[in-house]
C-alpha cells in the first residue's frame, strides 16, 4: 500500500517477505520518478543485505563478550524466522528494500538510509527495561529458541502481514512483556524515520519504503507541520551509570567476604567449609548446566563449573567469557560456520552451528552463574547468621 503525504513525499508500506511488495516498490518508483528513494534501513542492516561476508569478519572478542552474545543470538534468531517465512512465500527477507535500491541505481537516483542504527535502538531499549523485564525477555527468548521450528508457517496470512509487518509484530509482542522499551522500538523509530524523510524531502521528491507496521505512525508525524524531532536526542546513548546490576555485582563479593569472615571469626571452621562447599557447588553446577544445555564441549562444561564460583566474586569477569574462550579453542568456528549464519532456517541449523554454539555457551554459562549466585548467597547468609 502507498500513501501520498505531499507533492514531495510518498510512502510505501511493505511486508518484508512479500513478492507483492517487491513489485509495488518497483512500480511506484518507476511511476513517480522521485529524486530520492528512502529505505527503512540503517547502515548496519544495509550491509547485512548487501555484504554477505559480514559475519566472516566478526572479531572473536565480540562473540565472547556477554552483552554481544545476547544481541547476536537475538539477531540471528529473528533473521532465521524471517528467512523461513520468506522461503514459504518464495521471497528473501528484505527483498523489497533491495528492489528499491536496485531500481534507484537503475534510474540513477539517490538512496537515503533513514532508520536509526539498530545498535542504538536496542541499547536504548535495554536501558529502559527493568530487571523483571530483562529476566522475562531472556526467558521468552530461550522458550522461542527451543520451539521455533514447531511454528506452523502455513497459517500465516500475507494480507494480515501487510497490515502489520514482521518486525513490528515482533516488537508489539515484545512490548507486552517489556512495555518500558516499546516506545523506543516503535514510537521513537517512527519519529526518527519521519524526520529523516522530511530532511530528504527538502532536497527533492522522495519515495520512502517502510514496513507496513510503521506506516501509520510515520504518516502521523509527517502530516503534523508542528512536529520537530531532535535526532541527536534520539541517537543519544545514556552515559553508563552505576546500575542496580553493577551494585549487585560489587555487593556479592563484599557480602561473601563478610559472611565467611564472620563464620571464621566465630571459630566455626566446619560451617565455613560447608559455606564454601555449597557456594562452589550451587554456582558452579548451574553455570555448568547452562553450558551443557548449550551443548558445550565437556572441557567447557568443566571450565564453567570451576570458573563460575570465582568469577561471581569478580565483577570484571564473567563465567561465560572463560567457558566461551575454552569452547573457542577446542571448537574454533571456521569460515563456513560464519557463512551459514545467513542461511539458518531450522532448529537443527541453529544448534549445530559452531558460532551459535559459542554464543550459547557464553550466554547460558553466564545465566547459570547469575542464577546460582542468587540461590547460593541467601543460603550463605542463613549459614552465617542463622541459628
Q: Which is more confidently placed, 340 or 158?
A: 340
pLDDT value of residue 173:
61
Over the chain, what is the mean pLDDT?
79
347: pLDDT strictly greater than 90: no
- Which three cell numbers, joined as nine digits, stand for 30? 518507476
155: pLDDT strictly greater than 60: no
Domain boundaries, the chain: 2-235, 244-385
Yes or no: say if 340 and 333 are a contact pair by the CB < 8 Å rule.
no
| pLDDT average, residue stretch 332-354 | 72
Spatial separation of the C-alpha atoms in residues 125 and 222, rounded to whole Å = 24
Yes or no: say if 306 and 42 are a contact pair by the CB < 8 Å rule.
no
| pLDDT average, residue stretch 323-329 | 92
Instruction: Find the helix packing angle between 269-293 and 354-385, rounded to 10°.
Output: 160
pLDDT value of residue 130:
74
Spatial separation of the C-alpha atoms in residues 364 and 358, rounded to whole Å = 10
127: pLDDT strictly greater than 70: yes
Determine the length of the chain: 387
Q: Which of 177-186, 190-199, 306-315 has the lowest average pLDDT?
A: 177-186
| pLDDT average, residue stretch 205-221 | 89
pLDDT value of residue 158:
45
Instruction: Spell out the SS3 assignment of the chain.
Output: CEEECCCCEEEEEECCCCHHHHHHHHHHHHHHCCCEEEECCCHHHHHHHHCCCCHHHCCHHHHHCHHHHHHHHHHHHHHHHHHHHHHHHCCCCCHHHHHHHHHHHHCCCEEEECCCCHHHHHHHHHHHCCHHHHHHHHHHHHHHHHHHHHCCHHHCCHHHHHHCCHHHHHHHHHHHHCHHHHHHHHHHHHHHHHHHHHHHHCCCCEEEEEEHHHHHHHHHHHCCCCCCCCHHHHHCCCCCCCCHHHHHHHHHHHHHHHHHHHHHHCCCHHHHHHHHHHHHHHHHHHHHHHHHHCCCCHHHHHHHHHHHHHHCCCCCCCHHHHHHHHHHHHCCCCHHHHHHHHHCCCHHHHHHCHHHHHHHHHHHHHHHHHHHHHHHHHHHHHHHHCC
Q: How confident is the model at residue 66 (pLDDT cuts 50, 70, 90)?
A: low
| pLDDT average, residue stretch 214-229 | 85
- Which three cell numbers, joined as nine digits, stand for 123? 541499547
**Rounded to an integer, what is the distance from CA 268 to the centroid of its chain?**
48
Spatial separation of the C-alpha atoms in residues 86 and 158, rounded to whole Å = 11
171: pLDDT strictly greater than 70: no
pLDDT value of residue 136:
73
Q: Which is more confidently placed, 216 or 51?
A: 216
Q: What is the pLDDT of residues 237-259, one digit of tens each?
A: 876 655 666 777 788 889 889 88
Phi, psi of 103 (to 5 degrees): -65, -40
Give the Cα-Cα-Cα angle 371, 138, 306 (nearest 5 degrees): 35
Amino acid at each position: 500500500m502507498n500513501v501520498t503525504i505531499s507533492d514531495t513525499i510518498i510512502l510505501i508500506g511493505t511486508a518484508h517477505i512479500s513478492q507483492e511488495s517487491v513489485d509495488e516498490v518497483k512500480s511506484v518508483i518507476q511511476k513517480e520518478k522521485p529524486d530520492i528513494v528512502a529505505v527503512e534501513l540503517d547502515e548496519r542492516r544495509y550491509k547485512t543485505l548487501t555484504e554477505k561476508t559480514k559475519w566472516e569478519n566478526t572479531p572473536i572478542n565480540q562473540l565472547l563478550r556477554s552483552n554481544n552474545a545476547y544481541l547476536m543470538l537475538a539477531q540471528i534468531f529473528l533473521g532465521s524466522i524471517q528467512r523461513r517465512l520468506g522461503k514459504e512465500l518464495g521471497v528473501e527477507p528484505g527483498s523489497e528494500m533491495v528492489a528499491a535500491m536496485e531500481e534507484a541505481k537503475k534510474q540513477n537516483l539517490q538512496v537515503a538510509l533513514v532508520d536509526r542504527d539498530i545498535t542504538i535502538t536496542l541499547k536504548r531499549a535495554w536501558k529502559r527495561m527493568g530487571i523483571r523485564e530483562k529476566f522475562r525477555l531472556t526467558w521468552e527468548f530461550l522458550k522461542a529458541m527451543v520451539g521455533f521450528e514447531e511454528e506452523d508457517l502455513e497459517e500465516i496470512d500475507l494480507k494480515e502481514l501487510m497490515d502489520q509487518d514482521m518486525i513490528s509484530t515482533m516488537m508489539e509482542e515484545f512490548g507486552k512483556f517489556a512495555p518500558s522499551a516499546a516506545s523506543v522500538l516503535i514510537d521513537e523509530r517512527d519519529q526518527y524515520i519521519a524526520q529523516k524523510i522530511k530532511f530528504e524531502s527538502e532536497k527533492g521528491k522522495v519515495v520512502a519504503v517502510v514496513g507496513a507496521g510503521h506506516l501509520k505512525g510515520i504518516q502521523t508525524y509527517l502530516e503534523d507541520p508542528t512536529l520537530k524531532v531532535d535526532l541527536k536526542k534520539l541517537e543519544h546513548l545514556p552515559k553508563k551509570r552505576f546500575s542496580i546490576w553493577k551494585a549487585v555485582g560489587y555487593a556479592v563479593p563484599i557480602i561473601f567476604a563478610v559472611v565467611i569472615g564472620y563464620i571464621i571469626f566465630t571459630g566455626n571452621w566446619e560451617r565455613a567449609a560447608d559455606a564454601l562447599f555449597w557456594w562452589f557447588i550451587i554456582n558452579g553446577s548451574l553455570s555448568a548446566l547452562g553450558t551443557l544445555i548449550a551443548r558445550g564441549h565437556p572441557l567447557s562444561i568443566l571450565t564453567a563449573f570451576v570458573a563460575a564460583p570465582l568469577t561471581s566474586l569478580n565483577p570484571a569477569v564473567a563465567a561465560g567469557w572463560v567457558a566461551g574462550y575454552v569452547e573457542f579453542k577446542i571448537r574454533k568456528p571456521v569460515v563456513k560456520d560464519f557463512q551459514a549464519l545467513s542461511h539458518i532456517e531450522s532448529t537443527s541449523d541453529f544448534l549445530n552451528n559452531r558460532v551459535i554454539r559459542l554464543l550459547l555457551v557464553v550466554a547460558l554459562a553466564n545465566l547459570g552463574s547469575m542464577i546460582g549466585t542468587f540461590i547460593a548467597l541467601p543460603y550463605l547468609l542463613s549459614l552465617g547468621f542463622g541459628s
